[in-house]
Amino acid sequence: MIRKPLLAACVAGLLALTAACGSGDGGGKESGETALTYLVFETPSLDAKFWDDSITAASAQTPGVKINKIVAPSTDRDGYAKQLQQSGQFPDLLQSITPSNFVGAGLLKPYDKTWIDANFLLPSANSLKGEVYIPPTNSQIVPQVYYNKQLFQQAGIEKAPTTWAEFLDACAKLKAKNINPIELGGADPFAASMPLVGIVSADILGKNKNWLQDRYADKVKFADADMVTAVNKYRTLVTSGYFDKGALGVKYADSITRFTTGKSAMYPMGSWFLGSVPKDTADNFGSFPWPTDNGDVVVPFVGGGSMAISAKAKDTALAEKFGQAWSLNPANLKALIETDGAFPMIKGKTLKDYNVTVTKVFEDSYAYVGQDNNKVSAIGWATNDDALPAGLNDAFYAAAQALFTKDDVAGELKKLDEAWKTAAQ
């Protein structure tokens, strides 16, 4: 998820604009209805019409509710929600936030467990201490490695690599043909971290699924030898020239364009990239899991979801009914599947039930979700008990950017341990 800094000064103006554009005052009773505020975010794919239509549909199944939409000024819902909370305007419903950033302060109400268990394939995919604050409607793999089949053929690479040695060999063959091996949107911190997310998820969590819980218990550290060895793989890719030299100046949006137009052969990115695969050349793209030393498949998995409920909502029961109706609406999942590469996780449904049009690379990527493989929490992206402490995501991103130009792996990992100690206090 793209996270951008916000301008605090925008809050009051945006709230005023939202109230002016919406209907009602954002709270209390209106004509016998209970007005609830709903924080959403807009993207080119999830535009105003998508949110308005989805609100109308869920409202029709929730008698007595009136929804007043609040649009975040960027995709950083967490940051904006915190600003609203500080100003006494915490929304009643909050779309796609990170629950761990709010549960500690008692701001969120969990969903009914019976309903969660009855409706979702992985009910505990984003649970926190046994409670679910966002229905696990969909999932992502963060990252997969997407590749250009034509460029692989030009370099004489016959199949997608499964081991680290094969991956390095593929990179070397591509470079030898003057093809940039790996695309990196290094100007955006989250995108810059993708290779590191893949490496750490595969090499560390792939061998110890409980590594993050062990870190919370202070049993392991980022500065440990196995983590240093893993992160040095990233330095190997950098020093071998397998990224463009100017990668730190490439914006995330531009990295997508560069990859899809054949400027690079591989692209480690979250599965939301699947929504950006050009339909006319979709058959030219494939995907594979981040390679491990022995070729074992490790899938860095993230349980996604819909909306959280404020524990102080004007009517928490009504808010939950609205959240349930919204979460199970196939039309909402259809949009997320086709435009955001979301993998649906509602019980009893296949892709056909959503009436979606997806590419072959989507189907191949989605297959990893249903397979019996080693699924681990994608470091820095989990929304369950494996979520990093507040602030650690930014520290992890900063380390990834720093290690593009610095050789001090041990020093950067020590900084992460120091940041963890501060954040976990």
- Please tell me the distance from the alpha carbon of residue 126 to that of residue 301, in angstroms, as a whole number: 11
- Beta-bridge partners for 344: 138
Residue labelled with tokens 């240093």: 228
Measuring CA to CA, which residue among 248, 247, 303 is closest to residue 120? 303
pLDDT for the residue 5: 35
Q: Write down the H helix ranges in 206-251.
A: 211-216, 225-239
Same fold: 10-136+305-341 with 141-302+375-423: yes
**Could you state, in chain order, the average pLDDT of each consecutive group of 10 residues for the chain (425 residues)?**
36 40 45 92 87 97 98 90 96 94 94 98 92 96 98 98 98 98 96 98 98 97 98 98 97 96 98 94 98 98 94 97 96 90 93 93 94 95 90 94 97 98 88
Residue labelled with tokens 């940051």: 79
Q: How far is CA 379 from CA 34, 142, 215, in A?
A: 39, 9, 12
- Sequence ranges of the domains in the chain: 10-136+305-341, 141-302+375-423
**Helix or strand or coil: residue 269?**
strand
- Please tell me the distance from the alpha carbon of residue 220 to that of residue 212, in angstroms, as a whole number: 9
| Residue range 10-136+305-341 in CATH 3.30.470.20 | no
pLDDT for the residue 32: 81
What CATH architecture applies to the domain 141-302+375-423? 3-Layer(aba) Sandwich (3.40)
> Whole-model pTM?
0.85
pLDDT for the residue 72: 95
